[in-house]
A and B are shown apart, each in its own frame.
Chain A
Amino acid sequence: MIPPLWMFLTVAAALFSIGAFGVLARKNAVAVLMSVELMLNAVNINLVAFWRFGETAPSVIGQSFAAFVLVIAAAEAAVGLAIIIAIYRTRQSVVVDDVDMLKW
């Protein structure tokens, strides 16, 4: 017997909230990206949990959705880290408060 659905949802909610706090509060852009990965993983736990508990007949919809989230997360990490490295090269900083030229 695996634990009931609400336990999985609670863990995923906690993971998402920790990630959200990291995104909002960390100064280092690399740490912000790591926190985004945590949030994406929380979403994946939810998707797979709902797939496991909700399916009445065998299907793969939830699993394939989670797999696509994984692909997007990989692409996001690659491009995000490339942008951070480019910013570091031009400004010698990865503190998000230092990169505010779009703010007025």
Chain B
Amino acid sequence: MTFNELSWEALAFGAFTILTLGGALGVVFNRNLVRGAVWLVVSLFGVAGFFVLLSAPFLAAVQVLVYIGAIGILFTFAVMLTRSMTNLSERFNKQAWLSALAAVTLFLLILLAVIAPIFGEIAAPSSEVVATTEDLGVALVSGDKFVLPFEVASLLLTAAMIGAIVIAREED
């Protein structure tokens, strides 16, 4: 793809990349955690945009509802409940430089091992027809597809909810 044939998808991709990675850097480098939670929401919104680009509208909607709506608020609550810790004088622990080195090495390794072999090769999706949200819904409740993982996931969510209440409850 050259710059002469910039399509709206390429522009949207660039915008979502800036949102996602900029938000992520904001989360990691911001000292104030309330602002960090807002940056997290920005980053998650960018990821929802990627889902739209990849023709997964249901996932994009769930990303906005669950991540931005629920988890964003959950993090804001946690930051406010631990108020004296919101603005630590030191953001990073003693191994920050080592961690940065590890993260950069990880990124370069992925670039070298995974992305370099397919660079410029898989330019377009192999199928123009995409499964719809209806197909996803049917697959999640049909017996020969994902009904068992679906039920296990709902059981896990219930258990996690009860567990969270029990753990965070005031001792009496």
Contacts and interface: CB of A to CB of B under 8 A. Distances in A.
Interface string B120-144: 1111111101110001100110000
User: Interface on chain A toward B: helix, strand, loop, or mixed SS?
Assistant: helix
Nearest to A54: B126
B85 A93 contact: yes
A71 interface: yes
A1 interface: yes
Contact of A1 (B55, B114, B121, B124): B124
A52 B131 CA distance: 10
A21 B160 contact: no
Chain B interface residue number, banded: 35 or more
A101 interface: no
Chain A interface residue number, banded: 35 or more
User: Interface on chain B toward A: helix, strand, loop, or mixed SS?
Assistant: helix
Nearest to B103: A21
Interface in A23-50: 24-28, 30-31, 33-35, 37-38, 41, 44-45, 48-49
B107 A79 contact: no
Interface of B: 1, 7, 9-10, 13, 17, 20-21, 24-25, 27-28, 33, 36-37, 40, 43-44, 47, 50-51, 53-56, 58-59, 62-63, 66-67, 70-71, 74-75, 77-79, 81-82, 84-85, 88, 90-93, 95-96, 98-100, 102-104, 106-107, 110-111, 114-115, 118-127, 129-131, 135-136, 139-140, 145-146, 149, 153, 156-157, 159-161, 163-165, 167-168, 170
16 contacts: A3-B1, A3-B53, A19-B28, A45-B50, A48-B51, A55-B127, A59-B131, A60-B135, A63-B59, A67-B140, A68-B153, A74-B71, A75-B159, A75-B161, A77-B71, A88-B81
